[in-house]
Amino acid sequence: MADASEVHPAVKERIRRNRVLGLSAAAVFVLDQAVKWVLTYILQLPQRLSIEVAPFFDLRWVKNPGVSMGFLTADSELGRWLLVLLTAAISIFVFVWLWREKRRDDALALSLVLGGALGNIVDRIRLGYVVDYADLHFGDIHPFLVFNVGDAAITIGVLLLLLRALLTRAPKAPREEV
């Protein structure tokens, strides 16, 4: 067996970087679960149903049995566990992509997606639904769905990946004249 000092420097760097990014994903997961715990047990949001925080922001108790925007609603135990399996498979894909990713900005975006997804998976396993609570609105106009920290992290991570992909395209090779 090779001594730890014999590990290639590039491998050491990847392990160090991935530990940091793993901590980012863990931080999103812990924050997501901590906020849900405070809202559920300290602020008693399930009993109160809604707390006005500002004229444009309420804490609103929502049990989300689906993924988002009403897609893939799990209305049975089988549906619930199939949704857990689907989101777990996606999370494994994101984890592998994160492990292999060389760009720090993409890796950070992936860690946001992974941390948020894991928080929502834990809710679905423990409760059978995802706890959503953040309601941004303008008077009676609700342009966003009620969401949580995990959802926000997933959305921000995906948007960062899309922006980077759209804004940093590789230059096209020059055309050859025939």
SS3 63: strand
Q: Is the pLDDT of residue 73 over 60?
A: yes
Taking residue 148's Cβ as centre, other Cβ atoms within 10 Å add up to 24
How many helices (H) and strands (E) are present in the chain, helices listed first?
A: 5, 3
The predicted model gives 139-147 an average pLDDT of 82
Q: Please, which pLDDT band fits residue 80 given cuts at 50, 70 and 90?
A: confident
SS3 174: coil
CB 131 within 8 A of CB 33: no
Active site residues: 132, 151
Read off the pLDDT of residues 105-139 as tens digits, 9 standing for 90 and up.
888 999 999 999 999 999 999 998 899 999 988 88
Give the rounded percent of residues in the chain with a pLDDT score beyond 70: 79
Read off the pLDDT of residues 37-61 as tens digits, 9 standing for 90 and up.
999 999 999 999 998 988 889 999 9
